[in-house]
Amino acid sequence: MHSPQLQPKVQELLELAQVGINGSNPWDIRVHDPRFYARVLAEGSLGLGESYMDRLWDCDSLDQLFYRILSARLDSQVNPKKDWIPLLKARVLNMQNPVRAYTVGRHHYDIGNDLYERMLDSRMIYSCGYWKEARDLEEAQEAKLDLVCRKLGLEPGMRVLDIGCGWGGTAKFAAKRYGAEVVGVTVSQEQVKYGQELCRGLPVDIRYQDYRALNEKFDRILSLGMFEHVGLKNYRNFMTRVRELLMNDGLFLLHTIGRLESKTDCEPWISKYIFPNSMLPSAKQICEAFEGLFVLEDWHSFGPDYDPTLMAWHDNFTRSWEELRNIYDERFYRMWSYYLLSCAGSFRARSNQLWQLVLSPHGINGRYEAPR
């Protein structure tokens, strides 16, 4: 049911971000159904996303909309009716324990390699590219992989562990370009099948395995875009396991999205529709997790690079929609576009961060020269 007095409340909020309703700017919202206002005020970001999927409203440029909303901190202005169940679950239960850890693999990464082949670069790298000197997505992802390998000082014959190895693109790059022997673990069966075929003939072992089940030693360990699925209750255990698996003179590189404040929950729409049981860490939470286990050698922040990465993924996705629409429906198209573009806006507004940390067990002798 729509109450007429709700529209001015939403309009007043949006004006703080210089966003209009039924205006002419590409970031303005066009409301098709007045139920939109009640959904947003009652449910906050979850209602905003679901009402978009339900076609209650549209916007020509969702990335610009979210850039303005998040720059103006409107997300803190709306206090939806609290659904305490997800919050209590996050605080009381271990939503990322070894059994639940495979949920995100089935829900997100196993939905179809055909989607990711068309959306990502040729190596199928599903994490932030490095755009310092890159002209397109392909160059940005190659630059990121090379940056990671240089930060780790990879040399031929080194044994490397890739935690959350995706479709095997990073493992293949490290093996072919740097002569490393790589073990990659993932909780996605589709990624394992794809990665094993991709890396055939190389010293690469792609496994369907949780990182907690490993019991081997490695010269180098890396994890690109997987820590977001670890969960606060497991941060310390994650770092402890990495330390146990890493040689005393080894290096560990952690590449993760981060948030500005320490919290125990995830953005509700993202958690429900895109990454179940996900949780973004704060800098404080990461530091507490490795305190006493590692020496921090380098902390590199390049969150703005996720904006062009996500926009390139969205461009690829929309250009390929005619090929994909026989597999995925129109609601999926709206959901996926909303996901990619709202995230692009969040990084543009610096609401989300992207960090690469290099950690060593006892500290590098002399100076660690951090490549950039």
By annotation, the residues acting in catalysis are 343
b/e map 173-206, b = 16+ CB within 10 Å? bbbeebebbbbbbbbbebbbbbbbebbeebbbeb
Q: Are 299 and 318 in contact (CB under 8 A)?
A: no
Compute the distance between CA of residue 273 and CA of residue 271 in angstroms, rounded to an integer.
Answer: 6
What six digits make up the tokens of 140? 């940005």
Provide DSSP, 327-342. TS-HHHHHHHHHHHHH
Instruction: Please name the helix (run of DSSP H) or strand (run of DSSP E) that holds residue 15, with its range, or none.
Output: helix 6-15
Cα–Cα dist 65/59, whole Å: 8
Number of Cβ within a 10 Å radius of residue 63:
24
Question: Is 187 in contact with 211 (CB distance < 8 Å)?
Answer: no
Q: Which of 166, 231, 242 is nearest to 199 (CA)?
A: 166
HEC string for 269-330: HHHHHCCCCCCCCEHHHHHHHHCCCCEEEEEEECHHHHHHHHHHHHHHHHHCHHHHCCCCCH
Distance CA 51, CA 70 (A): 18
Question: Are 238 and 288 a contacting pair, CB within 8 Å?
Answer: no
d(CA 239, CA 195): 25
What are the tokens at 195?
A: 């990665």
